[in-house]
Structure 1
Amino acid sequence: MTFTLFLLATIMNAAMTLLPMSRYEIWWIRGLDFPRVQLITLILFTLLLACWLPEWSHSGNLALFGINVACLLYHCWWIMPYTRLHPVEVKSVPAGKALHPFTVLTANVLASNRHADCLIALVKQHKPDILVTLESDSWWQQQLEALETDYPYTIKCPLDNLYGMHVYSRLPLENSTIEYLVEPDVPSMHTRILLPCGARVRAHFVHPAPPSPTENEESAERDAELLAVARSVAAATLPVVVTGDLNDVAWSTTTRLFRKISGLLDPRIGRGMFNTFHAEHWFIRWPLDHLFHSHHFRVIRLQRLKLQGSDHFALLTSLDFRAGHNNGNRMLHADAEDKELANDKMEHKNVKKSDVPIPVK
């Protein structure tokens, strides 16, 4: 009986490890990119089960044991960068020594949530320079009007389909646009932020639809939108920030490809996972809300904030603008195969990097 359980668990562990290695974009395969931490836990329990095997040193048992160890190491390879055991990709700077601090609060509010007072309180407490809301509809827009005295620069796209977006800024926003890059009802926002020091930052706010049985059967739409933005910012001369709910985890093949193509840095590398979803279920959490940036910044602080009524935590990211400084080391670079894959995904959904607005005055 114990051997049968061990065998079945090994087959399941191997299948859930091997399937995401494929390039199939169907939702249930791409969904297996998400629970790597949970799979590590499952594999550890499977290895523990092997301790009760009679004659576990038998060659067949050892082979199954080895398969589980290989799966464990593979998932750990993906997860390791998002632990403190890994070197940071972006250098830190204490708040007191920051030259030009810049803070963004990214919050998927959950459209049905009616605790706008909690988000407003977080904004007043942490005083971010930019607030980005996702899933915000007309009701949320009305509630957040209270912020416009302190955040007079706005981009508003209230929608009732879970893809509404709003940006509220203390800092001037230049040439802001709302685009529908891949799907006609899924917007993205593009602007240029004027920092107090006079520097301008190119910013892109995104929330592509996820691969799921209730949204898109495949990840093609999500992947194409993210890669179009990546291709566009790769040639940017200005500092760049890309943030939002990517509906993808930090340790997926798509997000890794985004980092390779864009050349942007991930401030979470070497600092932690900062799992933002699901806020109510600790056992199924993963990082869906992201902020990537160019080499022009150092990290002051990353913090996950409780957002009452939402299924997401909010993500607070404080950066220090330091142009011309050695702010870290980019760890991923695109090769010819990566570029070809990105092109194929974009062509499949008929989106080009030129479709992504370049905010210029």
Structure 2
Amino acid sequence: MSAKKKQLLKSLLQLLAITIIGLSVLPYFIYHIWWIDIFSNFQVQYGVLLSFLILPFVFIRKWKWVFFLGIGIVFSCSQIFPLYVNTSAEARIEDVKPISMMSINLLSTNRNATAVIDYVENKNPDILVLSEFNSYWDKQLVEVLETFSYTHKVLREDNFGIGVWSKFPASMQTLYFNELELPSILLQTEGVKKSFSVIATHPFPPVGQRQFEVRNKHLTHLAAFISRENYGNVAVIGDLNTSSFSKNFQLFKEKASLKDSREGFGILPSWPANVFLLQTTLDHALVSEDVSMLRREVGEHIGSDHLPIYLEISLP
């Protein structure tokens, strides 16, 4: 390779390094602009790319660039590593009867009802949350949903229908956390030894500045509601249309005094289901600090653009 081509290749690699590190770091400091915040979702991909990109600079002994790339790798790892650290309260599975919960973004246009039914029947959760729930899904899932004694659903033919089904005695009501009046559902258990609450929610996707602000207000109002009502043991579950790596998600988690149920279990990406290399963490379950996480997993592909999530918890 000629000296000119080598210099061109080195320049391209340097430009690529600057771009990737910029996309990784910038959303942490500038998180009020929708298209910048979007890039925060892909910290895993940035970390992998930078780990490969550092190798040619090591080979050609460009140590300043190795150091620069190393800082980028450390930053990405600092966003990812906490998901592998177990901060959950101690609870041995053999000493408790876990509460199992499942959340599925069905995708309103998905027609693979058999896969959804099989997955729900196989896992048999105590509490089930379904997003993008419409009249089609209401008809298709009627038999499997009859196994739950308590239900509250809001059917919509857009992408914001939602429903909650419970095997525990519970009261449920519809709540609204944004001006678009997208429904959320509050479940509160009744007549059980250890009471708890579940808020199922599905904010608007941030596909423009206004929509981004609507989503952020939704999360802000939800966090304020949780703090004000002081439910004790509470879980927020659903497609939050933000990843664990977004500064806006982290602020929501702090304001609501909740922890990410992924902590101790890893990244567990759930979207987009069909594009593995771009997958990130849009489907969430956040729980009170004292709640013990016993299991957390993503399910099999059920025809939606989201993978289902399943978790088991124990109450203090």
Per the normalisation by structure 1, the TM-score is 0.79
Q: Deviations over 1:54-80 (max 9, x none)?
A: xx4xxxx43333222111111110111
Whether the 8 Å contact between 1:182 and 1:221 is mirrored in structure 2 is yes
Structure 1 residues 255-276: Cα deviation after superposition (integer angstroms, max 9, x where no partner):
2112211111223212211111
Alignment of 1:301-312 (within 5 A): 301-312=295-306
Structure-2 change in CA distance of 1:295 and 1:65 (3 Å): closer
In the TM superposition, what is the alpha-carbon distance from 1:92 to its structure 2 partner? 5.2
Q: What is the distance in 1 between the residues matched to 2:140 and 2:124?
A: 18
**1:31-46 counterparts in 2 under 5 A?**
31-46=38-53
Given the alignment of the two structures, is residue 299 of structure 1 paired with residue 293 of structure 2, yes or no? yes
1:94 Cα deviation from its structure 2 partner: 4.3
The match for 1:74 is 75
Matched to 1:172, the amino acid is P
- The Cα of 1:226 is off from its aligned counterpart by 1.3
Match of 1:201 among 196, 204, 211: 196
Q: CA deviation at 1:296?
A: 4.1
Please tell me the residue identity of whatever aligns with 1:242: V
What letter matches 1:13 in structure 2? I
**CA offset digits 1:84-126 (Å, max 9, x no partner):** xx3x11145443321x421111011111111222222222222
Determine if the alignment matches structure 1 residue 189 to structure 2 residue 185.
yes
Structure 1: which amino acid aligns with 2:201? V
Is this contact kept in 2: 1:30–1:211, CA < 8 A? no
Distance, in Å, in 2 between the alignment partners of 1:2 and 1:52 is: 14
For residue 269 of structure 1, what is the aligned residue in structure 2? 263
Alignment CA distance shift 1:155-1:307 (3 Å)? farther
On the 8 A contact 1:40/1:75 being kept in 2, the answer is: yes
Match among 295, 319, 323 for residue 313 of structure 2: 319
Q: Which residue of 2 aligns with 1:232?
A: 225
Runs (5+) with no aligned partner, structure 1: 323-361
Aligned partners of 2:262 and 2:22: how far apart in 1? 29
Using the alignment, how far apart are the partners of 2:261 and 2:231 within structure 1?
20
Residue aligning to 1:326:
none
Q: Which amino acid aligns with 1:68?
A: L
Q: What aligned pairs does 1:44-63 form with structure 2 within 5 A after superposition?
A: 44-53=51-60, 56=61, 61-63=62-64
Contact 2:244 2:282 in 1 (8 A): yes
Please tell me whether the aligned partners of residues 204 and 211 of structure 2 are also in contact (alpha carbons under 8 angstroms).
no
Give the unaligned 5+ runs of structure 2. Answer: 1-7
Q: Does 1:127 align with 2:124?
A: yes
Aligned to 1:351: none
**Alignment RMSD, CA only?**
2.0
SS of the equivalent of 1:179 reads: strand
Deviations 1:37-61 (CA, angstroms, capped at 9, x unpaired): 10111212221231454xx4xxxx4
Paired-residue identity, %:
25
Asked if the contact 2:25–2:75 (Cα under 8 Å) also holds between the matched residues in 1, the reply is no
Residue 3 of structure 2: aligned partner: none
**How far does residue 32 in structure 1 lie from its aligned partner after superposition?**
0.9
Counterparts of residues 1-361 of structure 1 (less than 5 Å): 1-53=8-60, 56=61, 61-83=62-84, 86=85, 88-91=86-89, 93-98=91-96, 100-174=97-171, 176-194=172-190, 197-213=192-208, 217=210, 219-235=212-228, 236-322=230-316
CA distance in 1 between counterparts of 2:25 and 2:98 reads 43
Which of the pair is proportionally richer in helix?
Answer: 2
Question: In 2, distance between residues paired with 1:52 and 1:101?
Answer: 52
Deviations 1:321-352 (A, max 9, x none): 22xxxxxxxxxxxxxxxxxxxxxxxxxxxxxx
TM-score computed with the length of structure 2 as normaliser: 0.90
Superposition deviation, residue 130 in structure 1: 0.8
